[in-house]
Structure 1
Amino acid sequence: MTFSQLVDVIILGIIEGLTEFLPVSSTGHLILAGELLGFTGEGSIAFKIAIQLGAILAVLVAYWRRFWNVGLGVLAGDAPSIRFLRNIIIGFFPAMLIGAVAYDAIRQLLLSPTTVAVALIVGGIAILVIERLVKDVKVESVEAMPLGTAITIGLVQCIAMIPGVSRSGATIMGALLMGVERKTAAEFSFFLAVPTMLGATVYSLYSERELLNIDDLNAILIGLGVAFLVALGVVKAFVAIVGRFGFAPFAWYRIVLGAAALVWLNA
């Protein structure tokens, strides 16, 4: 790996860590940044998926006490802990099923910066609309989330397989429409990311194994590590920002970025 390539990997790791849990599409940012840096092609696909695992590890570290208590509660037969685990598993299942079936189609979309730009704009408009529609709060914790709500959010998450839509954005907005409180919606999105992105990373690395070489694996490890360190600071800060300002700032950012990307891609 050359010094220039190392710099690109670090930059992409920083971008992943900053954007994974924000409703702005980390994959979309990686695709656009990769296009700008010349980090494109078949070999870049597994990298862009796999380094998301670094951000997921940040969730495990930031919320380790919550996961630990849930694990102890499940072993002890505690009903709220069992409902927490049930909701995460149920929410993950649609993405696991559809992702495995539609992997090749999703892979092709990962090579399309124009798709990302359009999805950023459409998603930004959707966030602004949903922010105005959502009023009633019915669910104030992951443990209190009804089974049907968890299933619906899991189905909505599948929309984020289109690059630029944003996994966190789709799950959070879906949760808000189902009457989930803002902080709980954000945290459920974090927790749901753990099995979803772990599954996507493992499946991607397995599917792309013949294309990967030692430099690719080294790049993934470095990018993953950088993403972990950056995301660790973002996870908790995001909840505080949402509580104070809502999601509108992220929506306007998406619209501006998507419009700028379309102009640049068609220049």
Structure 2
Amino acid sequence: MDFIMFMKAIILGLVEGLTEFAPVSSTGHMIIVDDMWLQSEEFLTKYVANTFKVVIQLGSILAVVVVFWERFMDLLHIKRKKPEQGAPAGTGRLKLGQVIVGLIPAGVLGVLFEDYVDEYLFSTETVLIGLVAGAILMIIADKFSSKQPKVVTVDQITYKQALSVGLVQCLSLWPGFSRSGSTISGGVLLGMSHRAAADFTFIMAVPIMFGASFLSLVKNLEYFTMDALPFFIAGFVSAFVFALISIRFFLKLINKIKLVPFAIYRIVLAVVIYLVWF
């Protein structure tokens, strides 16, 4: 594995880690960075390159598990989590059933339309559309967000709200729209605080991303060759480290800066990419 390949693996892992859980679309950034600059398919076959992107996504998932470890232990009834600071007296706990309800809509549509999305929607043009459309939704969410949200912590989310957020998450099947951007926006519009919506988004991300990644890896085990393995490991570690930093930083800021700054970034990025690419 030469130095250039090693650095490209780290850069792609960095892009995945920093953007997977921020509302800016990691898929969009990966397509843009890889297509416009790194062009991984020039030094890897198409299928190995695609498998690599799944591997680095697993690095990001592991970072979420680390940050929300106590929460996942609580969901599985392995360890009781202490009530969150600021939670109203008598607040219950987020239940595994609520997470599952939130996952169903996008999970079903993802299975039904996976091949169509992979074949027709993974391009720079569609990503630009998703970036702008998602930005508009985020601006609307902030404009109509409640100054005193009814749902302050993730433990106050109802089954109905979980399902509604899950329906909004279906928008993220369009590359560039962003899973976290759509679900946080949906949660805010339903009366959640930005932090509660973000927490629920990240918790839901683990099973749906892990499931999709696992199925993809099973289908592509033949591409885990000794030549490609160092490339995979470098990208995985890079994605894990930068996702860990990104998640902690984002969760500290989200209630303060909200979604508009990310929406502005998305629109500016789309305009710049359009001018450069086209």
Question: 101, 105, 115: which is aligned to 2:112?
Answer: 101
Output aligned runs, 1:169-184, within 5 Å.
169-184=181-196
Out of 52-61 and 131-140, give the one that drifted further. 131-140
AA in 1 matched with 2:198: A
Q: What CA RMSD, in Å, does the superposition of the two structures yield over aligned residues? A: 2.2
Q: CA, structure 1 residues 227+109, in 2 after alignment: closer, same or farther (shift >3 Å)?
A: farther
User: Unaligned regions of 5+ residues in structure 2, if any?
Assistant: 81-90
Conserved in 1, the CA contact under 8 Å of 2:13 and 2:56? yes
Q: CA deviation at 1:210?
A: 5.2
Is 1:131 aligned to residue 147 of structure 2? no
Q: Which residue of 1 aligns with 2:271?
A: 259
Deviation at 1:60, TM superposition (A): 1.1
Q: Mapping of 1:12-31 within 5 angstroms?
A: 12-31=12-31
1:91/1:150 contact within 8 Å kept: yes
Distance 2:75 2:137 in 1: 34
Equivalent residue, structure 1, for 2:171: 159
The answer as to 2:67 corresponding to 1:55 is no
Change (3 A) 1:216 1:156: farther
C-alpha change, 1:64 and 1:101, in structure 2 (3 Å) is same
Deviation for aligned residue 1:174 = 0.9
Conserved 8 A contact 1:18-1:230: yes
AA partner of residue 10 (structure 1) = I
- Identical columns (%): 37
Task: Report the more deviating stretch, 185-194 or 50-59.
Answer: 50-59
Q: Deviations over 1:90-131 (max 9, x none)?
A: 112222222222111121246411111221122112211221
Q: Distance in 2 between matches of 1:172 and 1:56?
A: 18
Preserved contact between residue 122 and residue 175 of structure 2 (Cα < 8 Å): no
User: How big is each residue's C-alpha offset from its partner over 1:67-106, in whole Å with a ceiling of 9 and x where there is no partner?
Assistant: 223433789xxx944x421111111222222222211112
Using structure 2 for the length normalisation, give the TM-score.
0.86
Tell me, in whole angstroms, the C-alpha distance in 1 between the residues paired with 2:230 and 2:173: 26
* 1:65 Cα deviation after fit: 2.1
Indicate which of 97, 100, 110 corresponds to 1:89: 100
Structure 1 residues 208 and 113, CA, compared in 2 at 3 Å: closer, same or farther?
A: farther
Asked if the contact 1:171–1:189 (Cα under 8 Å) also holds between the matched residues in 2, the reply is yes
Q: In terms of mean alpha carbon deviation, does 24-33 or 89-98 score higher?
A: 89-98
Alignment-mate amino acid for residue 55 of structure 1: S
Q: For residues 46 and 264 of structure 1, what CA distance do their matches in structure 2 show?
A: 28
8 Å contact 1:119–1:164 — kept in the other structure? yes
**Worse overlay, 219-228 or 10-19:** 219-228
| Structure 1 position 150 matched with structure 2 position 153 | no
| Alignment of structure 1 residues 67-82 onto 2, 5 Å | 67-72=72-77, 80-81=92-93
**Relative to 1, partners in 2 of residues 1:42 and 1:70: Cα closer, same or farther, differing over 3 Å?**
closer
The normalised TM-score by structure 1 is: 0.90
Say if 1:102 and 1:162 are closer, same or farther in 2 by CA, change over 3 A. same
- Note if contact 2:141-2:186 (Cα within 8 Å) is conserved in structure 1: no
User: What is the aligned length?
Assistant: 262
Q: Distance in 2 between matches of 1:167 and 1:69?
A: 24
For 1:118, give the aligned amino acid: I
Query: How far is the alpha carbon of 1:38 from its aligned partner?
Result: 1.2
- Segments of 5+ residues of structure 1 without an aligned counterpart are none
Distance 1:34 1:110 in 2: 16
Q: Is the 8 A contact 2:101 2:166 kept in 1?
A: yes
How far does residue 230 in structure 1 lie from its aligned partner after superposition? 1.0
**The 10-residue stretch of structure 1 (151-160 or 103-112) with the greater mean CA deviation from structure 2:** 103-112
* Alpha-carbon shift at residue 14 of structure 1 (Å): 0.6
Shift in alpha-carbon separation, 1:155–1:213, aligned structure 2, 3 A:
farther
Tell me how far apart the structure 1 counterparts of residues 128 and 226 of structure 2 sit (CA, whole Å): 32
Distance 2:79 2:108 in 1: 25
Q: Is the 8 A contact 1:46 1:205 kept in 2?
A: yes
Matched, 1:196 2:208: yes
**Residue in structure 1 matching 2:50, options 22, 27, 45:** 45
The whole-number CA distance in structure 2 between the counterparts of 1:222 and 1:110 is 28
| 8 Å contact from structure 1 (residues 153, 174) kept in 2 | yes
Q: Tell me the distance in 1 between the aligned counterparts of 2:156 and 2:236.
A: 33
